[in-house]
Structure 1
Amino acid sequence: MADVYTNPEKHVVLHNNVKMPILGLGTSHNGGYSHSAVVYALKECGYRHIDTAKRYGCEAYIAKAVKESEVPRDEIFLATKCWPTDYGTIATRNAFNGSCERLGSDYIDLYLLHWPDVPSSVSDRNRLLQETWRTLEVLLDEERVRAIGVSNFLERHLDVILEECSVVPHINQCEFHPFNNPKQLREYCAEKKIQFEGYSPLAKGYALADSTVKAIAKLHRRSPSQILLRWSLQNRIPAIPKSTKVQRVMENGQIFDFTLTEEDNEILDNMAQKLTIMERSTIQHKIDNPLPDGYKLKLVKIPAEP
Structure 2
Amino acid sequence: MQIPKVGFGTWQSPDGEVAYEAVKTALITGYRHIDTAQAYGNELSIGEAIKDSGIARDELFITTKLWNFVSTYEEAVSSIDESLEKLGLEYIDLLLIHWPNPVKTRPNFKTRNSELWRAMEEAYEAGKIRALGVANFQPHHLDALFETAKIKPVVNQIYSNPSDQQEDIVAYNKAHDLLTEAYSPLGTGEIFKILALGEIAEKYDKTVAQTVLRWHLQKGYLPLPKSITPNRIKENAQIFDFELTDEDMVFIDQLHGALLPHKYPDNVQF
TM-score (norm 2): 0.93
In structure 2, what is the equivalent of residue 232 of structure 1? 216
Distance 1:59 1:108 in 2: 12
CA positional deviation for 1:208: 2.1
Partner of 2:25: 40
Q: Which residue of 2 aligns with 1:87?
A: 71
- Cα distance in 2, alignment partners of residues 63 and 51 from structure 1: 12
- Matches of 2:19 and 2:71, distance apart in 1: 29
Matched with 1:205 is: 189
Identity, in percent, stands at 34
Write out per-residue CA displacement over residues 188-234 of structure 1, whole angstroms, 9 at most, x where no aligned residue. Answer: 11111111110000111111231221111011111000000001111
Q: Confirm whether residue 187 of structure 1 aligns to residue 171 of structure 2.
A: yes
**8 A Cα contact 1:108 1:146, kept in partner:** yes
Aligned partners of 1:79 and 1:110 also within 8 Å: yes
- Give the drift of 1:282: 9.7
| Alpha-carbon offset, residue 252 of structure 1 | 0.3
Matched, 1:178 2:162: yes
Question: Does the aligned pair in 1 maintain the 2:164–2:262 contact within 8 Å?
Answer: no
User: Which residue in 1 is equivalent to 2:142?
Assistant: 158
How far apart are 1:82 and its partner, in Å? 0.2
Of 219, 226, 235 in structure 2, the residue corresponding to residue 242 of structure 1 is 226
Task: Considering Cα pairs closer than 8 Å and 6+ residues apart, tell me whether 1 or 2 has the greater RCO.
Answer: 1
Q: Is the 8 A contact 2:173 2:179 kept in 1?
A: yes
* Offset at residue 29 of structure 1 (A): 3.1
Structure 1 residue 284: Cα displacement: 4.3
TM-score by length of 1: 0.83
How many Å separate the matches in 1 of 2:167 and 2:82? 35
Q: Distance in 1 between matches of 2:105 and 2:27?
A: 42
Among 237, 242, 249, the residue aligned to 1:265 = 249
Contact 1:29 1:58 in 2 (8 A): no
After TM superposition, the structure 1 = structure 2 runs for residues 32-181 of structure 1, keeping only pairs within 5 Å, are 33-43=18-28, 45-120=29-104, 124-181=108-165
Displacement after TM superposition at 1:177 (Å): 0.5
Q: Tell me the amino acid that sits aligned with residue 117 of structure 2.
A: W
4+ runs deviating over 6 angstroms: none
Give the residue type in structure 2 aligned to 1:25: F
Shift of 1:237: 0.6
Q: Could you say what secondary structure the match of 1:36 adopts?
A: helix
Aligned partner letter, 1:77: F
Distance apart, 1:37 and its partner CA = 2.1
Residues 87, 42 of structure 1: CA spacing in aligned structure 2 closer, same or farther, 3 A cutoff? Answer: same
1:29 maps to which of 12, 24, 30 = 12
Post-superposition offset of 1:119: 4.3
Aligned to 2:202: 218
Distance 1:34 1:178 in 2: 27
Partner of 2:2: 19
Deviation at 1:276, TM superposition (A): 4.3
Query: 5+ unaligned residues in a row in structure 2: which ranges?
Result: none
How many Å separate the matches in 2 of 1:269 and 1:123?
34
Deviates further, 54-63 or 112-121: 112-121
- Whether the aligned pair in 1 keeps the contact of 2:19 and 2:42 (CA below 8 Å) is no
Q: Which runs of 5+ in 1 are unaligned?
A: 1-17, 287-306
Give the SS at the match of 1:84: coil
Conservation of the 8 A alpha-carbon contact between 1:52 and 1:80? yes
Report Cα offsets for 1:75-109 as digits up to 9, x if no partner. Answer: 11000000121132110011110000000001000
Q: Distance in 2 between matches of 1:236 and 1:165?
A: 26
Partner of 1:303: none
The whole-number CA distance in structure 2 between the counterparts of 1:256 and 1:158 is 32
Aligned residues: 268
Q: Are the equivalent residues in 2 in contact too, given 1:204–1:277 (CA < 8 A)?
A: no
- Per the TM alignment, residue 274 of structure 1 is displaced from its structure 2 partner at its CA by 3.7
Change (3 A) 1:61 1:272: same
More moved, 156-165 vs 29-38: 29-38
Q: Distance in 2 between matches of 1:35 and 1:278?
A: 28
